[in-house]
Amino acid sequence: MFKRLLLISIVTFWVFNYHNAQVTTTSDQVLEEGEYLRFDIDSYDLGKVKKGEKLSFDLSFTNVSDTMVYIDFISACECTEIDYPKSGIKPKTTGVLKVTFDSKDKDVSETTDIDVFIKNRDPETGSQIYYTLEYSFELIK
């Protein structure tokens, strides 16, 4: 009787822990509906910037989908130049947006949006998919 109870306890414990381990492992990999790119950060703080100063930074991302992703265009302030992969991003690979900010025409601190539009379409609605990132700075004169 004791051996049977011990065996049932061990099996129950093993099944419970195996299930929890699986849930933990897969929850880190769950994709949101229609997700193609996952950015490491979606907001970047440049800190204090002197008027006229040029600063550069990178925004890294991963193609988390199973298909090639093509960036259609990127919309940002005239003070922002962005270099990005033009030939597409293969599934499960990383890429970088190289951002250069020029503060020469700025008079106040602000937060600036960077909208990344991809050519891939939402399979259900057919609408264009985009991601909004941002950077901010405190202008010092």
Domain spans of the chain, in order of start: 1-30, 37-140
CATH of range 37-140; options 3.50.50.60, 3.40.190.10, 2.60.40.10, 3.30.930.10: 2.60.40.10
Structure confidence by residue, pLDDT tens digits, 36-66:
999 999 999 999 999 999 999 999 999 999 9
Radius of gyration of the chain (CA): 23
- pLDDT, residue 1, reads 52
Indicate the pTM of the whole model.
0.75
Q: What confidence category does residue 122 fall into, taking pLDDT thresholds of 50, 70 and 90? A: confident
Residue 9: count other Cβ atoms within 10 Å of its Cβ: 10
Question: C-alpha dihedral over 83, 97, 95, 127, to 10 degrees?
Answer: -100
Structure confidence by residue, pLDDT tens digits, 78-88:
999 999 999 99
Mean pLDDT, rounded, of the chain: 82
